[in-house]
Structure 1
Amino acid sequence: MNVEAIMSKNVVVVDAYDSLRKVKMIFDTSKFHHLLVVEKERLFGVISDRDLLKILSPGVGTAFESAGDAAILNKRAHLIMSRKPVTLGPDATIYDAIEIFNKHNISCIPVVDGERRPVGIISWRDVLRTL
């Protein structure tokens, strides 16, 4: 079975220069754990909800939010993304995905076309659900 059959096709992308405020809003209002970062429609990186949580103060969005907390939200997505993510094509097999998950200790793999445009994303949960 290939990854195209089990990947999530509802991929949420942000531009490399979108603010972390936008990234946080997407994570806060959706069930997504990973956002694909694009530049000129081509995959540039990946941001996980954990990447964002690592840099945010617990005061963000509360009455205790400081000017520094607010300034962090004005930074750009490319500053916290994982660069040069490992990818698969839609025709890769589930076993190719398993090999990448084991080798790279990652929790999602962007699926891209021949021009590195995102067409889906596969998580280790997708693989487990299928097996």
Structure 2
Amino acid sequence: MDIQVSEIMTSRVVTIDMDDRLSVAKEIFDNAPFHHLLVVEHNQLQGVLSERDFLRALSPNIGNINETERDSDTLLKRAHQVMARNPITIEAKENINCASKLLLEHGIGSLPVLEQGELVGIITWKDLLRAYSD
């Protein structure tokens, strides 16, 4: 398949700042249908915060009757404390076979998409599966 990443990526990317608290990420994850947030500093990509990493950083007692102040304090952590640094990225002009290989090689679920070093989108395994199915 000779489909470029730019043809199937999501270009409306939601980002958070490195110093945003996990409570900001929780609000986004609770209200959005996606599972990856791109973490930026001065408009430069610094990392990826997956919902899985986010949940791992939280106390399991958040939101239930056993929640203590210590549990709720886990929402005060900053994005940079939990995110994956130095994310694997892909250029918008690459083909989707390259994207698939990168996801599999690195055991990740998404790739930030760059164009001349600037963040222009994100592509996930679901995007690729959809493209291969069509």
Give the alignment's TM-score, normalised by structure 1: 0.94
Runs of 4+ in 1 over 3 A off after TM superposition: none
Alignment pair present for 1:108 and 2:110: yes
1:94 aligns with 2:100: no
Give me the whole-angstrom Cα distance separating, in 1, the residues matched to 2:49 and 2:74.
15
Q: How many angstroms does 1:98 deviate by? A: 1.3
**2:128 paired residue number:** 127
Q: CA deviation at 1:57?
A: 1.8
Unaligned runs of 5+ in 2: none
SS at match of 1:118: strand
Who is 1:20 aligned against?
Answer: 22
Helix, strand or coil at the partner of 1:18:
coil
Matches within 5 A, 1:1-131: 1-115=3-117, 117-131=118-132
The one-letter code sitting in structure 1 at the alignment partner of 2:38 is L
Aligned residues: 130
Q: Aligned letter for 1:121?
A: I
Secondary structure of 2:12's match? coil
Deviations 1:34-77 (A, max 9, x none): 00000100100001110011121222123322111121111100
2:83 partner letter? M
Contact conserved, 2:47 with 2:87, CA < 8 A, in 1? yes
